[in-house]
Structure 1
């Protein structure tokens, strides 16, 4: 019984066709000129299939137009339902400003999508004429870009003022001297329209402008000559001035001073340092020799004084009389027997 119920519900769902995921809702989508965009529309159930469906477009108050019947979308629209029957999404490539508006995916129900297409609006400078400086033999970039870097302009032109008129140098190189030397720098950002000019020459100096639709940005390029290209002119002027000795002397002296002055300074410093070093060595040698002589003289004086002190030492004898007890008168004693001598040293 349960299996019959499942089969019954499946048959009801299959008979109702494709129920849209975003039924009766408005989805906001943003795209950029030159790019691609996907307008989503799909069945809610993965097993359901839309028997019939259409994509319609409404722009600028006009009535609804079938997308696949409009020649403006020829070659720019792709459906995904061939690989996934429940996926009814629409892919639009190479977007244009005219693609902006309301779209409707309609089966038994419908889903509404509002598509906004942003185009290229040039970034304007506060200056009417932008000054750019380059150097001969090198490269230069003239900056130009859209306010939306993802937006690719439908048409871009670079012009150069020559012979009292502007001539195109990109994409059509109508001036011979610019051929194979100019390119755009928009490999990663479609809105980067800057112009790269290689191998600059003095003839590239002048006025340029970047043009997108009715918008323009003007530039004035100045090309400066590098020092390497100026050197031959300096030698030429010196060789031509040999007929005027006074001018030649004035021109040749300044270059010699920076090279000769440091040599004299280095030589003089070397001599001074050498003299100071010799004087320092002589002073050290003199001090060492003088100190050694002073020590020898001091040692000799001490030995001499010691010898004199030994000679001046005189030994004196002091007589000490020792009284003895009184003896009878008749007893005679020898005085020499009671006399003792003590040694005394006297230092002069």
Structure 2
């Protein structure tokens, strides 16, 4: 077993590094001003090739050396602490960096890359922009590829026939601390923001890159629009003018609409109180009357239940004594009452036409009309009981 292990190890050392994607052609697209990684590595990252080279085709294959002056600070190997990682990183790309690259170990082990670098091509345009004195304005300018950043660019202001650069250098000293780029983190956005505009800022501007296409912008400056003041509206009457400042109201002054609402609320409250008081008085009087009626009915019922034939019967009679015989005296169901017409009776003094009598119940067949001596005059009345 030990012999087999050593044999396999020897074969692995002899084989060395085998490239990942051997003899493939990989297309890669990048943008000017950015970076790109050309990946190249051994299938086993722990193996280290004896020799390897990066070359670029420019009429012929030219070896790339990161130590050379041409590629210094822009080309570097990225091994990521792995001996088998042979990738190449190119920074600050330019359009000239595009082309055909090759990572090779020997004639039979290599990998090709076709790198395309897109540069900044301005959108050719002529735009008219209006700005106002004291405010800010944005002069638009952008690359067709917003990820592409031009190697160099500048803004030029034409004062008459004399062009002057205002960004990145201010040759006029008129735009110092008033201009800045507004790219919104997009390298291809080259728009220029001008603050604190003056009348002298009006004119023609040009966004210029290294290529032959430019973007022209015409800036028109106008006076700042005046906004109508709404802080002092005027109310005019026949006698005088009243100026009311809504921004600084007088705390002692009340709005007529509020006063009207307060008065209306007070009147409604008084009316509700009056209605409530009247309802309480009505229900109180009604309750008293109902109580008197119930008391009267109760007293009447008690009198009716407690009335006995032996109690005096109040009967109203005329001043002259009369005798009324409804039935014969021999009727057993007839009672005879003796009515005293004496006007000097104790109860008759209170009411002249009320007389008092005594009713005697008799179950006998014989006539029960024996008069009761209660005064000078005796009147007989017959009463039938059922």
Give the alignment's TM-score, normalised by structure 2.
Answer: 0.61
2:244, 2:382 → 1: CA distance?
91
1:113 corresponds to: 113
1:294, 1:86 → 2: CA distance?
110
Classify the secondary structure of the residue corresponding to 1:12: helix
CA-CA distance at 1:154 after TM superposition: 1.2
Where in structure 2 are the equivalents of 1:1-348 lying within 5 Å? Answer: 2-59=1-58, 62-68=59-65, 72-81=70-79, 83-108=81-106, 109-124=109-124, 128-186=125-183, 188-212=185-209, 213-226=211-224, 256=234, 260=242, 315-316=316-317, 319-321=323-325, 322-324=327-329, 340-341=380-381
> How many aligned residue pairs are there?
293
Q: With CA pairs under 8 Å and 6+ residues apart, which has the higher RCO, 1 or 2?
A: 1
Classify the secondary structure of the residue corresponding to 1:223: strand
2:88, 2:114 → 1: CA distance?
13
1:282–1:95: structure 2 CA closer, same or farther, 3 Å change rule?
Answer: closer
2:80, 2:26 → 1: CA distance?
23
1:42–1:324: structure 2 CA closer, same or farther, 3 Å change rule?
Answer: closer
Residues 253-272 of structure 1 deviation map (CA, whole Å, 9 limit, x = unaligned) = x9755883769xx8765776
Residues 199-253 of structure 1 deviation map (CA, whole Å, 9 limit, x = unaligned) = 222221222121222222222223343367x99xxxxxxxxxxxxxxxxxxxxxx
2:73, 2:258 → 1: CA distance?
86
Classify the secondary structure of the residue corresponding to 1:316: coil
1:81–1:273: structure 2 CA closer, same or farther, 3 Å change rule?
Answer: closer
Classify the secondary structure of the residue corresponding to 1:20: coil
Classify the secondary structure of the residue corresponding to 1:9: helix
Classify the secondary structure of the residue corresponding to 2:242: helix
1:242 corresponds to: none
1:281–1:154: structure 2 CA closer, same or farther, 3 Å change rule?
Answer: closer
Structure with a larger share of its residues in helix: 1
Is the 2:234–2:244 contact (alpha carbons within 8 Å) kept by the matching residues of 1? no
Comparing 76-85 and 44-53, the one that deviates more = 76-85
Classify the secondary structure of the residue corresponding to 1:117: strand
1:309 corresponds to: none
| C-alpha RMSD of matched pairs (Å) | 4.3
Unaligned segments of structure 1, at least 5 residues: 232-253, 296-313, 326-332, 344-348
Residues 260-306 of structure 1 deviation map (CA, whole Å, 9 limit, x = unaligned) = 3769xx876577668867877898899899999999xxxxxxxxxxx
1:20, 1:339 → 2: CA distance?
158
CA-CA distance at 1:150 after TM superposition: 2.1
Give the alignment's TM-score, normalised by structure 1.
Answer: 0.67
Unaligned segments of structure 2, at least 5 residues: 246-253, 284-314, 331-366, 372-377
Is the 2:46–2:82 contact (alpha carbons within 8 Å) kept by the matching residues of 1? no
